[in-house]
Structure formats: structure tokens, C-alpha cells
Chain A
């Protein structure tokens, strides 16, 4: 069976500090990978998605970046965090099936607080 891991689970960082959140998927190969952010009391906003190693698409311009150095590894980074970067970050994967029914399966999330 497939599992998705995210770490750290919680993170408190000062404004202006760098960020690195990691996501790995087990039990599947060549998944589509996604990074979402959920602000308090809001729905999820897609930040980045990747259909393969080194292939990153950005949905929202911001001071965040993403990388996919290995097939099942997805990293979210920032050089300098802003207060507005606080939120709950969720990584997700899907099989990359053709058509609309390509369910996304989510990791446990990272709660980031920028002070």
C-alpha cells in the first residue's frame, strides 16, 4: 500500500529565515505530487504540482519554491519567510491517471508558524 510522509509536523520560524519542508511517498512510482497551503479557517490552495523529476509548475506567485530531486520526493522551500507564509502545508500525491478522476491522497501536513 502507498503511504505519504511529511516532516516536520510542526515548525516555528522567525521572519526572514529559510524554510525546507519535505514530502516522500512510498509504494508507488512516478506519482504526481502537489503542495497545498491551508490558511486558518480556509480551504486548500494549490501552490505547486509536479508530474515528474525536475518538472515543477507553480500555481501562485510567491516567495516559495518547490523541487523534486527524486521520483518520490517533493520539497517546499523559501529563502526568506514572511509572516503571511504561516499556515498548514499539505503534500499530496496522485497516480497521474488520465481524466478527471485522479484522486489526490494527502499527507499528515506541517503546521508552520512564522513569528
Chain B
């Protein structure tokens, strides 16, 4: 089974509107971290936001916020007031704790969502 699922291959949003990019994850480890990265057409991966499994509040970073629903195992990224520069691929990733038996260094990525912001 996939550990990270991003069900939206592509999304469109009008400039200045908000958009939600979906991410569900699969782990039996009680300790894990969730990351969102942005990949513009240039290719570089840019870290956006982090949510820990034990964090009580949803993470926020500027226009980015995370809608973390632990029971549903979802960590959706919300971008408010979209800008043309937000057009990019967005990847959700997870790091599991050592109790999963895997490497604590490994980030497992989803396949990404291509966001297009229309003027």
C-alpha cells in the first residue's frame, strides 16, 4: 500500500482564491512527521510546512496552513490568497519514527499535485 496518497493529479485555482491540496498517509507508527514541498518548473524542492503527529495545533506558515485530521490520516495543505507564483508541483511527504523499523532519515513522498493559478 502507498504510504502517501495525493489523489489530485492537477488543480486549478483563480488568483486570490484559496485552494486545498489533499494528502492522506498510511502508517502504524504513533510518531511521524508530515512535510509539504513545492517544486516550481525550475525543479528545486522548496520546504513549505511541517506537522508533527503529536502537535496539538495545525501548522501555519504565512499563507500556508495544514488541515491535519489525525483520525482520518489526512494532512491537507491550504494555500490562501493564491498568487501566480504558486503555480507548481506540490508534494506531501512523511517521515516515520524509529518504531516502524525503517530509517529515521527517510522521507517518503507522494506523487504530487500540479497546481495552476489562473489570472
Using a CB–CB distance below 8 Å, which chain A residues touch chain B? 32, 34, 41-46, 49, 51, 57, 59, 88, 90, 92, 94, 100-109, 111
A8-B109 Cα distance, complex, nearest whole Å: 25
Residue numbers in B under 8 Å from A34 (CB-CB): 105
Please choose the segment from B11-19, B39-47, B76-84 that sits at the chain A interface, where 4 or more of its residues have CB less than 8 A away: B39-47
Contact present for A43 and B42 (CB under 8 Å): no
Total interface residues in chain B, CB < 8 Å: 28
Summed over the interface, the residue pairs from A and B with CB atoms below 8 Å come to a total of: 63
A97-B50 Cα distance, complex, nearest whole Å: 14
- Does residue B68 face the partner (Cβ distance < 8 Å to A)? no
Contact present for A46 and B106 (CB under 8 Å): yes
Contact present for B103 and A108 (CB under 8 Å): no
Using a CB–CB distance below 8 Å, which chain B residues touch chain A? 4, 31-33, 35, 37, 42-47, 50, 52-53, 91, 93, 95, 97, 103-107, 109-112
Residue numbers in A under 8 Å from B106 (CB-CB): 46, 49, 59
Checking A44, A105, A109 against B91 with a beta-carbon cut-off of 8 angstroms, the contacting residue is A44
Question: Known: A43-B91, A100-B33, A100-B95. Is A90-B45 also a contact (CB below 8 A)?
Answer: yes
A-B contact pairs, 23 of them (CB 8 A): A41-B111, A43-B4, A43-B93, A44-B45, A44-B107, A46-B107, A49-B103, A49-B105, A90-B45, A92-B45, A100-B31, A100-B32, A100-B33, A100-B95, A101-B33, A101-B52, A102-B95, A104-B47, A104-B107, A108-B42, A108-B43, A109-B43, A109-B44
